[in-house]
Structure 1
Amino acid sequence: MAGINEERDGLTLSHQFTSKMHRQLYPAIDPKNPSLSAAGKNVLITGATRGIGKSIALAWAEAGAAGIVVTGRQEKLLEEVADDLRRVSPKTKVVPIRAEATSEDEVHSLWAKVKVELGKIDILIANAGVFSEGNVYPVTGKMAPSQWWSDLDINIHGTYLQVYSFLQQYLSEGKEPTGTVIILSSGAAAFTFPGMSAYAISKLVGIRIAEHLNLEHPNVRSFAIHPGIVPTDMAPDMFAVQAVDPPEMASGLSLYLATSRAEYLRGSYVAVNWDIEEMEKHADEIREKKLLSTSFLNAKLGPEGHPFADTT
């Protein structure tokens, strides 16, 4: 790959699925691309007051979504984001609603308000999450149990509450759920790194939720995405040199995943750095061999046992 800088791109290169790597927005996932139009669609984005979540909301406005619900903890910031969205797309109905990620009552109230304002949500983007381990990296036993569990509570419980509410739009009426669910995961789910257990575990769970959704609700299009190494306030200092992926890449990818072109990726984990057009050329193999699904172990389990290299 031309122009590769090992210091900047080393970690991203180690996580590549396609031969072509992207670290900037490119035409196939550019919100301005007409093929990514969100016309007629209602989307709900959690954790939308800043960073990746705000960028995703802006992309859906740029793509002309019919309705956009933005949620987060800070009401003032939500209103500011809502104003930005209305400026980008005056015809879009923008609904800012404050909600605590792990409060079942507040999430229930959120979706009740959404039903009144917009009816059904077509696309859920579960972006809200935390990374309390940050630049401290407390290894197991040094991070207080309450804090460790709090991170999992927000990243897992918070995500499930939104997914549950999305499905209840249909299940409560005795109907099969449809639509699209996109869960913000992380490349951290693929690594075992000292001092990142809460974050890595919770992000792996996000991938597994997407996989179970794909199996349990075949009419729901589910995905987990790695947004790249984004220069936000959540990015650890040790990754500062590598944090060059703009949040707009995750935004554009979310639009792509909501289109029929992404059917071959249902239930999969996808990184923004991977080339969409290259993957489309191998769609059948990706789908049939489940190349982007998680594996329990590297070993091959089965009636004959693992085929060890040394069989003597």
Structure 2
Amino acid sequence: MDLNDPHAMTSPHQFTPTMHRDVYAAISPKNPDLNAAGKNVLITGATRGIGKAIALSWAEAGASGIVITGRAKDLLAQVSDEIKKIAPKAKVLALSSEAASEEDAKQLWAKVKAEIGIIDILIANAGVFSENSAGFPVTGKMDPSQWWSDMEINIRGPYIQIYNFLQQYLAEGKEPEGTIVVLSSAAAAMVGPGSSAYTISKLVGLRLAQNLHAEHPKVRTFAVHPGIVPTNMQVGPWAKQTIDTAEMSGGLSLYLSTPRADYLRGGYVSVSWDVEEMEKLADEIKSKRLLDLAFLNAKLGPKGYEPGSFA
């Protein structure tokens, strides 16, 4: 792989001929088809980078209520101020919270219920990739407590938020609805030394979206690859690859919250894929489950593996 080529890590994972590395008209917050008036959204990990960009995108699209969470209170306040400048009429709630804390989430959602009401869209963005800053330690060299901490934040964290999102309805004896977007990664499809906690946890995000789709048919669920964004998670070797804008995740989340994206429900989607080109393949995507997580490359069945066949 030529790491001097800015598309070297993105082009092998393209589903559509057109590759995007920045916001385009179909997913722009300025697109009237993506107007978010009357919608309440909650974004976790919104103090910087992708989470912040998502929050600002929803503000630009006119969301009625925007809840942002994170650990740094000062950064939460700054993002909150930026949101209010863009959308002065929006109800904004900035709440400090530890991603994997059930108690924090319980208090957070109680306050949201009291001050905002029902959350229509949950974007589970908070996550970590501590292996990169540790020099990519292979299995056996990373302290077990740190390895498990990453798994807790990247798996337990989203589940806690999803649980509380669903409880808005289940606690009232109602069938859950709305939209859930889980920030995953193309790394879920990769196996490389020194990234087991990250790749495994992001793979779980894909399967979680599929399970939610199967269990709660009125809830629109998606697993999203946010691209290779220049955030504090990236490292030197990928410098020339990190050209995807964080705003693409914001625009795509707006698109996914509309019925237009129903053909993608329960599946995986990358910000670099062109949504209008995917729409032309909507029937095939749904009928063949093209964007669902598979198990083995071999096609299995009562007669066993047939040489030359693929799942």
Q: TM-score, normalised by structure 1?
A: 0.97
Deviant stretches of 4+, over 3 Å:
none
Provide the C-alpha distance between the structure 2 equivalents of 1:148 and 1:117, rounded to a whole number of angstroms: 37
CA distance in 1 between partners of 2:174 and 2:303 (Å): 43
2:117 pairs with 1:156: no
Give the secondary-structure state (helix, strand or coil) at the position aligned to 1:120: coil
Cα RMSD (Å) of the superposition? 1.3
Q: CA deviation at 1:217?
A: 0.2
Taking the aligned partners of 1:50 and 1:233, their CA distance within structure 2 comes to: 9
Alignment-mate amino acid for residue 115 of structure 2: E
Q: 2:143 maps to which residue?
A: 144
**Aligned partners of 1:19 and 1:241: how far apart in 2?**
22
1:245-272 residue CA offsets vs partner (Å, 9 max, x unmatched): 0001111000000011000000010000
More displaced, 45-54 or 13-22? 13-22
Q: Deviations over 1:153-204 (max 9, x none)?
A: 0000001000000000000011100000000001100111110100000000
> How big is the shift at 1:309?
3.1
Query: What corresponds to 2:39 in structure 1?
Result: 41
Q: Which runs of 5+ in 1 are unaligned?
A: none
Alpha-carbon deviations, 1:236-292, whole Å to 9, x = none?
221111000000111100000001100000001000011100000000000110000
SS at match of 2:157: helix
Structure 2: distance between partners of 1:128 and 1:26: 25
SS at structure 2 position matched to 1:233: coil
Equivalent residue letter for 1:225:
V
Q: Paired residue for 2:287?
A: 288
Secondary structure of 2:109's aligned partner: helix
1:112 aligns with 110
CA shift digits 1:42-67 (9 cap, x unpaired): 00000000000000000000000000
The one-letter code of the counterpart of 2:198 is Y
**Alignment deviations for residues 189-233 of structure 1 (CA, whole Å, 9 cap, x no partner):** 011111010000000001111100000000000000000000111
Q: Deviations over 1:15-53 (max 9, x none)?
A: 111111111211111111111111100000000000000
Q: Where do 1:1-312 residues align within 5 Å? A: 7-135=5-133, 136-309=135-308
Distance 1:80 1:202 in 2: 30
Does the 8 Å CA contact 2:36/2:64 hold for their aligned counterparts?
yes
Number of matched pairs: 307
Partner secondary structure for residue 122 of structure 2: strand
Deviation at 1:6, TM superposition (A): 6.7
Structure-1 separation of matches of 2:249 and 2:294: 24
> Given that residues 4 and 240 in structure 2 are in contact (C-alpha distance below 8 angstroms), is that contact kept between their aligned partners in structure 1?
no
Q: Secondary structure at the match of 1:7?
A: coil
When normalised by structure 2's length, the TM-score is 0.97
Q: Structure 2: 5+ residue runs without aligned partners? A: none
CA distance in 2 between partners of 1:112 and 1:201 (Å): 31
